[in-house]
A and B are shown apart, each in its own frame.
Chain A
Amino acid sequence: MQYVDLGKNVILGAIVGVLWGWAAIAINAVSGVFPFEESLLYNMISFAVGGAVFGIVISGFLGLLQRWLPFKSVVLNAVLLSVALWLILRIGGAMLSSVEPERYHLITIQSIQGFVLSVIMGCILGILWKVNAKRA
């Protein structure tokens, strides 16, 4: 039973992640927070891969931790998990930056955009999770 759930979660997370990755390209193109250095085609692929990995992790944790998460709404729980994971990575990044400032440096405006994107990731995942649950 859990195998089936995990498989569904992984597929859903990957789909959400790819959609989110492409949405991130559009949002960054509009905001102009970071001028892209690679071509659009290259970024479509790299953002899809990166987004899928993030989506699978958040979807997987949502499936595994559903019983222990505080909210009744799956959308709120997905947003909570997405933001929490982003914050953990961001705090880790700040530590890396303090250890090796030449290799790693953080830019505040990009961090704000990253936070907003993590909320968007949670919303997309939560909404599609609900749709998927209704169909099952």
Chain B
Amino acid sequence: KVRNEQGLLRALLPALVIVAVACAMVVIAYGMADAFHDFRHTIGMPCH
């Protein structure tokens, strides 16, 4: 029964995937791991 852990993982997995991709988004947005230099300027994010 302790099935419960699998259920918890199944419930949390979508949120964890989104959080992981959101971390990648922050890395790209703030130029942090300058490949996206033009992209950042175009979408109005801070750049040097």
Interface residues of A (CB under 8 A from B): 2-3, 5-6, 10, 21, 24-25, 28, 33-34, 36-38, 43, 46-47, 49-51, 53-54, 56-57, 60-61, 63-64, 85-86, 89-90, 92-94, 96-97, 102-107, 110-115, 117-118
Contact = CB atoms under 8 A, between A and B. Distances in A.
A97 B36 CA distance: 18
A112 B48 contact: no
Given A46-B35, A96-B30, A56 B42 contact: no
B48 A114 contact: no
Contacts of A50: 28, 36, 39, 43
Interface residues of chain B: helix, strand, loop or mixed (majority)? helix
Contact of A61 (B18, B28, B44): B18
Nearest to B24: A53
Q: Which of B11, B24, B29, B43 has the most CB of A within 10 A?
A: B43
Given A34-B41, A46-B36, A110-B44, A6 B25 contact: no
Given A2-B10, A89-B26, A96 B46 contact: yes
Nearest to A27: B42
A103 B17 CA distance: 30
Contacts of A86: 43-44
Nearest to B44: A114
Contact of A111 (B18, B22, B26, B44): B44
Contacts of B8: none
Contacts of A107: 41, 44
B15 A64 contact: yes
Contact of A110 (B22, B25, B42): B42
Interface in B1-48: 10-11, 13-15, 17-18, 21-22, 24-26, 28-30, 35-39, 41-48
